[in-house]
Amino acid sequence: MIFLDSSDPKEIQDISAWGIIAGVTTNPLIIAKEAGNVDLEKRIREVLAVSKGHVSVELTTETEAEMLAEADRYIAWSPGRVCIKVPFSETGMRVLHQLATRGVPTNVTCLMSFNQAYLASLAGATYVSIFSGRVQDMGYDVRPIIEETRLILDREGLASQIIVGSIRHLMDVNEALQSGAHILTVTPPILRKMLWNPRTDETIREFNTAWAKRGG
C-alpha cells in the first residue's frame, strides 16, 4: 500500500485521482515547509476532505498530559480518520498505550531500530514508522531492520503495520517493499519518479507520431 507523505491538499487531491493512495502522513516539518505558519486545524481538515483512510497528525508537545490533551484535540477533527502520530520515547510509549487502549489509531514515528519498532508494536501501535533515509544517513542498512520487524510481527501475531518513510530514492522504495514493509509513505516528487520513464515517453511519442503521419 502507498500513503502520501504530504500536507498539500492540492497535491493530495491530484494524486488521489490515480486511485493508489490509501492514507496520508504529515509531520511538523512537512507542514512548516509546505505551508509555513498555517493554522493546523484548517490544514488538516482540508487534507481530510480530499483524501481517504487515515491522516496522521503528529504530536508536538512533550509531557504525557500535554500529549494526551493534544491528541484529543486532533481526534475531534475526525474520529477514526485522524491517526495520532506519536514520537517514540518513554513518554511516547505511555501515551501510545493509553491511546491504543481507547481504540485510537496511532502511528509511532521516528523509529530507527528493530527494538523500537518491536516495543511500539507490543504497546498496540496501529502503524510503526521506520525512517529509511535517516537510518541510512547514520551509515546503517535499513533492510534488516524492516525484515526483522516484519518477522516478529508475523511470528507473534502483532497487528501493527510497518510504514517505511523518509524515502529519498526509488531504490528505497524497492528495498522497503522487498524487506517486508506493509506500507510506503512517499512524497509527491518520489511518486512521480515512480511513474516516469524516458523510454516510455519516447515510445508513446513514436507511436502517436506514426499515427498522425499515416497515409490515407
Rounded CA-CA distance 120/160 in Å is 9
Q: Per-residue x/- mask for ligand E4P, residues 3 to 42, rule CB under 6 A?
A: --x-------------------x-x-xx------------
* Count of residues near ligand E4P by CB under 6 A: 13
Q: Per-residue x/- mask for ligand E4P, residues 131 to 170, rule CB under 6 A?
A: x-xx------------------------------xx----
- Burial zone of 155 (CB within 10 Å; 0-12 exposed, 13-18 middle, 19+ buried): exposed
Catalytic residue among 10, 52, 85, 193: 85
Instruction: Convert 129-147 to b/e letters by CB count within 10 Å (16 or more is b).
Output: bbbbebbbeeeeebeebbe
Counting contacts by CB under 6 A, is residue 88 touching ligand E4P? no
Our CB check for ligand E4P shows the closer of 5 and 46 to be: 5
- Quote the Cα angle for 12-22-9, to 5°: 15
Counting contacts by CB under 6 A, is residue 185 touching ligand E4P? yes
- Quote the Cα angle for 128-133-136, to 5°: 105
Stretch that binds ligand E4P, among 38-46, 130-138, 141-149, 206-214 (CB under 6 A): 130-138
Q: Measuring CA to CA, how many Å separate 74 from each of 68, 79, 159?
A: 10, 8, 23
Within 8 A by CB and 6+ apart from 104, the residues are 71, 75, 84
Counting contacts by CB under 6 A, is residue 175 touching ligand E4P? no
Rounded CA-CA distance 56/209 in Å is 45
Least separation in angstroms between CB 130 and ligand E4P:
9
**Catalytic-residue membership of 213:** no
Nearest residue to ligand E4P, by Cβ distance, number only: 165
Stretch that binds ligand E4P, among 10-18, 126-134, 142-150, 196-204 (CB under 6 A): 126-134
Rounded CA-CA distance 29/25 in Å is 12
Residues binding ligand E4P (CB under 6 A): 5, 25, 27, 29-30, 109, 129, 131, 133-134, 165-166, 185
Q: Which residues are catalytic?
A: 85
